Amino acid sequence: MDEHTIDADSLNLFKNIITSEFESHIYTKEMFFNPQQQKLCCILDSPDEKSIRDHHVKFGIKCDSITQIQQVTLGDQGDTDKLQVIGELAARLAHDLRNPLSVIKNVVEIMESKPKLKIEEKIICYGRLHRAINRISHQIDEVLDFVRPSKLTVTNNLLNEIVISAIEKIAKPDNVKINLPNNFVYVPCDFIKFEVMITNLIMNAIQAMNNSGQVDVRLFDDGKYATLQVIDSGCGIPKDVMPRIFEPLFTTKQIGTGLGLASCKAIVEQHKGIITVTSSVGKGTTFTIRIPKSSAVVSDKSVSHSAVPSQIAMPNK
């Protein structure tokens, strides 16, 4: 920005100068004239201060001062993309929350209209309320985990224990069988984040099988890496969909935020690991997670094999 002491009659001279500035690679973006103080301030786009002074000398103009100001670019492509993602996420979350909120509203209206419900009716109503609330809670947690990633709290954990804890949080259909490994693997990880990741993978597997089929969870340990595999017997992933499955907001489901697998990938990468997927349409899908064990301290504590059954079949929650 430069400043000039000038009278009102000389403004025409500056208009002519502005016209010629394009040829000298100097462009006047804004002009502010104060007739009382006879001060003219110009905001210029120029390669450097010397170019401005040389330009003024060329036209016989005296410049009182030149001040460099920082150029701020608003609405660049990165910001636009972020706003678009936020807008789409908000719209999808609002859409997904509408259904469980409607369930809660309907159940409350039923309970208000029938103050003397039978115990069986109360159990049904409370069950519907709990399922709707859990669905809302899961969707909100999924969004928060994605947009506000927290720091890791890494300890040496028994991976089998995390798997069982994750399964206990899933409303598993009666027609789904989950097979657990007989071997035991320790891994340096954040217990809660790994539990979230495994929960998402198993829920995806159950949905891919249309709530009927078999899920195999396998563990491997080669000394350098701890490996977890979640294998389902579902419909598989088409080739044209495969490249996009880890993209935020991408989903082929009627409901859901599209953040489940994106969050899984983020959690794995936070642990300096890798996640890969193989799939065959009509046969099933395998997700493989490999986590480095460089910071692990293997426990000598023995674990009874009866503590982790090879098969688990839990009733609906």
Please report, for the domain that includes residue 141, its CATH number: 1.10.287.130
User: 55 vs 5, 60, 276, CA distance in Å?
Assistant: 17, 9, 60
Residues 299 and 160 in one domain: yes
The CA radius of gyration of the chain, in Å to the nearest whole number, is 32
What per-residue confidence (pLDDT) applies to 100? 80
Domain assignment present for residue 18? The answer is yes
Residues 260 and 193 in one domain: yes
The mean per-residue pLDDT over the stretch 244-261 comes to 64
Q: Which residue has the higher pLDDT, 115 or 33?
A: 115
What per-residue confidence (pLDDT) applies to 286? 94
Residues 167 and 306 in one domain: yes
Q: Which domain holds residue 39?
A: 2-66
pLDDT tier for residue 151 given thresholds of 50, 70 and 90: confident
Lowest-pLDDT choice from 32-41, 56-65, 278-287, 305-314: 305-314
The mean per-residue pLDDT over the stretch 290-301 comes to 61
Residues 163 and 46 in one domain: no
Lowest-pLDDT choice from 228-232, 258-262, 299-303: 299-303
The mean per-residue pLDDT over the stretch 17-33 comes to 59
Domain assignment present for residue 27? The answer is yes
Residues 185 and 254 in one domain: yes
Element of type H or E holding 214: strand 213-221
In sequence order, the β-bridge partners of residue 28 are: 44
In sequence order, the β-bridge partners of residue 188 are: 156
Domain assignment present for residue 317? The answer is no
The mean per-residue pLDDT over the stretch 223-231 comes to 94
pLDDT reading at 44 higher than 80 = no
Residues 127 and 16 in one domain: no
Residues 13 and 98 in one domain: no
Residues 175 and 301 in one domain: yes
What per-residue confidence (pLDDT) applies to 1? 56
Q: Which residue has the higher pLDDT, 4 or 46?
A: 46
Residues 191 and 282 in one domain: yes
DSSP state of 36: T
**Mean per-residue pLDDT of the chain:** 75
Check which CATH number belongs to the domain holding 25 and give it: 3.30.70.3090
Do 313 and 179 form a contact (C-beta atoms < 8 A)? no
Task: State pTM to two decimals.
Answer: 0.54
pLDDT tier for residue 239 given thresholds of 50, 70 and 90: confident
Sheet strands (E) in 48-100: 65-66
Residues 169 and 290 in one domain: yes
Domain assignment present for residue 72? The answer is no
Residue ending a domain, among 131, 147, 163, is 147
What per-residue confidence (pLDDT) applies to 149? 63
Check which CATH number belongs to the domain holding 307 and give it: 3.30.565.10
Residues 17 and 129 in one domain: no
Q: CA nearest 160: which of 168, 150, 151?
A: 168
Query: pLDDT tens digits, residue range 73-97?
Result: 444 555 555 556 666 666 666 666 7
Please give the tally of structural domains in the chain: 3
DSSP state of 222: -
Q: Which residue has the higher pLDDT, 284 or 30?
A: 284
The mean per-residue pLDDT over the stretch 227-251 comes to 82
pLDDT reading at 298 higher than 50 = no
Residues 54 and 133 in one domain: no
pLDDT reading at 15 higher than 70 = no
What per-residue confidence (pLDDT) applies to 11? 62
The mean per-residue pLDDT over the stretch 28-35 comes to 66
